[in-house]
Structure 1
């Protein structure tokens, strides 16, 4: 009980109202500074996704995107959307869209920085916030603090959220004990993560597109079968988002808070997770992977989260609570907030199909997210050990992550989400401070990329003419 109380208190600080508005403000400022690249460069983002090949040291742009999407597309896309609607009403969906739109610029900044300051360790590309904090800011203790925080969050605090949602969905659909589900997850996960980054990349590039397209297809079927509800649902989202709806008008603050919090939990823009796989990409210019990662935020939130939201709202299969705990809307009496909302939504249109489909989708979504968590944790272990990665330390990390994954599958969802929110909040705080201070090199890289494109070139990065220091890989190792 003491642990739960402490985590709740910590989250009240990490996710207080000022923090929510700071995150929105940072994304908006980056959008202005990049001249809304998330709009100007959409065509280029899509083109770059399929450019480039993997190498012995790195992965292709698409593989890096797939690993990043593995982390972004998880339980937040199903259970997270449901909780946003439960606590913030339908208006929370709008604020999820808002943080995705402006967050795409934050994703560009952090992923471009990861490429600029990446290194080559043990024959593999490594990078992320710890690396760009040390090289770009020159503050080693701050870099080590982020690496340690990321390691704790990725290996201990956050895997349980994913495995808990898998277990809940499977139990609801098939009546399989969470203990059995937890064992299956651990066995499959162990097979992949003990195979290293290449096996993670290959698994991600197969699973992620398959699961995302299948999920979106089912949502389109649900929307098509309820198409007459489209105008009223869109109107409800916008009215609720700005506090003018008769039913949800009193939830304006909660709509913004839960929309932003669950939006960030889902798309991870600015969190500091996306830069890790971004740094592993084999590209000729950092801005290339920055643009690819910016588009991954759209895929996660504007496509997949919207699919969940529309299925729930079009069918009316949701509950919403007021801040005092009283129910404003209770269309699913006795159904706990989480995957059950989406399962009920699909079952209402396709009887007998929803529970099983959502359980399978949630398994793939959350399972691949845990894969990405492992990769991020391994990268930060590598940083803390200065590239001299000890196999014993790596194997210990794998065992710890498997234990916390199993623990999360077999324990209460409220505590799992509380731990997950705490882990996310710590990383967001540290990374946002860093990318605000370090934005200039990423902006210079963007300008350089755009200049070379206008000259008809395939952009190649050289940090020296731009005045960017400590970009050692690009100065010494990249073959121009």
Structure 2
């Protein structure tokens, strides 16, 4: 049920919160949070000069080996990207998209695309801010996220807000969403292979323990292997379905657009259902603006904060425009989907795939569910560890958290009813999204300053702009977190001085 790896968004019917948490959910997801995120994403897109489209092709530079730094301990921007993609991409990309189509019709896919394209700008801003205010661990690695840009960007008087954010992050992601991931994986294994949930839970718990005890470096290394395999195999399968049904593709594309604007009505609620389901699925899947991905973005060793912001925009694109679209085409090109008939999400995707490529594909989806769940679990754990360090510096509590997460994963897998205990996850995720959104709004002018600095360096002919923290003396920055600055200071100064004199 996490945004990147869960079912289909807040408050599934069987896990309705009550009392205080229901009140929190109504104040966030139930009222104005989704429209506010969409409006703010549009605002950022326009004020930044459509930055996600201007630097779209630059996003793919992260895949080049040239971006790797000389520090063996550091996390590269590519590794940070893949950890982030692993968190965004989860069971929701298989089941959640199916639910969105079932409830909102093919038009939901169009609005899912739309919110992803503007959400790329939101992700750029929050991940740029996380990079700007990151702190060095002293060993070539870094830490940061919304809690840090609240404390160092807004000031110590807002530390209580950072602690509130950290508590919500820890409880929602490290515990709540990891229980649901374990439940999703064990259910898929039991349904397709008949394997008892106990054994699936043991396997997932052991794998989780091995990775989380290696810290962020092992998490990054694991993601560097798992995520490309997971993504490329799933994309390849979807492409096979598309090629097999290539003559039907124009019809499906037309139904997506027509249903999105009410020219065709596939489900009750018409265009309203399409817009609602598409926006929800897009936001829950790519997490843009929710304040989770910046915690991973801050770990990367990059030359300029905007560089990691651009990179994280690519993770939104991969998650929604690529992976979610794969699921959508598998469903809409197959004979199983019938407009207006509600079907369980994972069952609709599974049946659609089986009808296209054969019964063996249900076993593939089981493996995909494992990879998707596992990548989300290690991502969610790291978010919990980051949150814990905001609240306390006691190292022993990190070990307590690790074993607690392993136990929660096992509990969620073996006792499906136990996930009801974590009904607070969605309301707390809504609350941390509100906190993050407020901080982003207040710090957006600072992000625009960084964007202007990045553009000026590109204009001056610097192919890979370098951030100079000394040029921003009014900001509370950790200068030791920018080792490239001194090495490139002369290059930047000499390149910018002719441009400055010319103006």
Same-fold call, TM cutoff 0.5: yes
Aligned to 1:404: 408
Aligned to 2:101: 85
More deviation, 109-118/310-319: 310-319
More deviation, 215-224/79-88: 79-88
More deviation, 231-240/298-307: 231-240
- Partners in 2 of 1:256 and 1:413 — Cα distance? 33
More deviation, 285-294/227-236: 227-236
Is residue 37 of structure 2 the alignment partner of residue 23 of structure 1?
Answer: yes
Is residue 150 of structure 2 the alignment partner of residue 115 of structure 1?
Answer: no
Aligned to 1:224: 243
Query: Per-residue displacement from partner, 1:359-406 (whole Å, max 9, x unpaired)?
Result: 111110121111011111111212222xx3x33200111122122222
Identify the match of residue 39 of structure 1 among 25, 47, 53.
Answer: 53
Aligned to 2:76: 60
- Partners in 2 of 1:161 and 1:97 — Cα distance? 26
What SS is found at the alignment partner of 1:370? helix
- Partners in 2 of 1:58 and 1:384 — Cα distance? 24
1:177/1:318 Cα in 2 relative to 1: closer, same or farther (>3 Å)?
A: farther
CA apart distance, 1:35 = 1.0
CA apart distance, 1:228 = 1.9
Say if 1:161 and 1:420, in contact at 8 Å, map to a contact too.
no
1:417/1:476 Cα in 2 relative to 1: closer, same or farther (>3 Å)?
A: closer
Query: Per-residue displacement from partner, 1:162-204 (whole Å, max 9, x unpaired)?
Result: 2222122212211112222112111111111011111111000
Say if 2:128 and 2:308, in contact at 8 Å, map to a contact too.
yes
CA apart distance, 1:319 = 6.0
Aligned to 2:146: 129
Q: CA RMSD in A?
A: 2.3
Aligned to 1:324: none
1:246-261 → structure 2 map (5 Å cutoff)? 246-248=265-267, 250-261=269-280
Say if 1:79 and 1:338, in contact at 8 Å, map to a contact too.
yes
CA apart distance, 1:465 = 3.0
CA apart distance, 1:284 = 1.4
CA apart distance, 1:302 = 0.3
Aligned to 1:244: 263
Say if 1:17 and 1:257, in contact at 8 Å, map to a contact too.
no
Is residue 393 of structure 2 the alignment partner of residue 376 of structure 1?
Answer: no
- Partners in 1 of 2:209 and 2:15 — Cα distance? 32
More deviation, 93-102/256-265: 256-265
What SS is found at the alignment partner of 1:48? helix
Identify the match of residue 437 of structure 1 among 429, 439, 442.
Answer: 442
1:218/1:112 Cα in 2 relative to 1: closer, same or farther (>3 Å)?
A: same
CA apart distance, 1:313 = 1.1
Say if 2:468 and 2:485, in contact at 8 Å, map to a contact too.
no
- Partners in 2 of 1:8 and 1:241 — Cα distance? 31
Is residue 367 of structure 2 the alignment partner of residue 363 of structure 1?
Answer: no
Aligned to 1:151: 170
What SS is found at the alignment partner of 2:416? coil
- Partners in 2 of 1:238 and 1:155 — Cα distance? 38
What SS is found at the alignment partner of 1:470? coil
CA apart distance, 1:14 = 2.3
1:253/1:368 Cα in 2 relative to 1: closer, same or farther (>3 Å)?
A: same
More deviation, 438-447/45-54: 45-54
Say if 1:236 and 1:245, in contact at 8 Å, map to a contact too.
yes
Say if 2:103 and 2:273, in contact at 8 Å, map to a contact too.
yes
- Partners in 1 of 2:347 and 2:288 — Cα distance? 27
Note the residue ranges of structure 1 that are not aligned, 5 or more in a row: 321-327
More deviation, 52-61/428-437: 52-61
Aligned to 1:462: 468
1:17/1:88 Cα in 2 relative to 1: closer, same or farther (>3 Å)?
A: farther
CA apart distance, 1:160 = 2.2
1:147/1:253 Cα in 2 relative to 1: closer, same or farther (>3 Å)?
A: same
What SS is found at the alignment partner of 2:333? helix
What SS is found at the alignment partner of 1:282? coil
1:48/1:73 Cα in 2 relative to 1: closer, same or farther (>3 Å)?
A: same
Say if 1:160 and 1:408, in contact at 8 Å, map to a contact too.
yes
1:144-183 → structure 2 map (5 Å cutoff)? 144-183=163-202
Aligned to 2:397: 393
Say if 1:345 and 1:354, in contact at 8 Å, map to a contact too.
no
Query: Per-residue displacement from partner, 1:417-456 (whole Å, max 9, x unpaired)?
Result: 9655334322222211111111112111111111101111
- Partners in 1 of 2:419 and 2:324 — Cα distance? 21
Aligned to 2:92: 76
Say if 2:289 and 2:433, in contact at 8 Å, map to a contact too.
yes
More deviation, 50-59/184-193: 50-59
Report the TM-score when normalising by structure 2. 0.87
1:140/1:477 Cα in 2 relative to 1: closer, same or farther (>3 Å)?
A: farther
More deviation, 263-272/284-293: 263-272
CA apart distance, 1:476 = 8.1
Aligned to 1:447: 452
Say if 1:73 and 1:266, in contact at 8 Å, map to a contact too.
yes
1:476/1:64 Cα in 2 relative to 1: closer, same or farther (>3 Å)?
A: closer
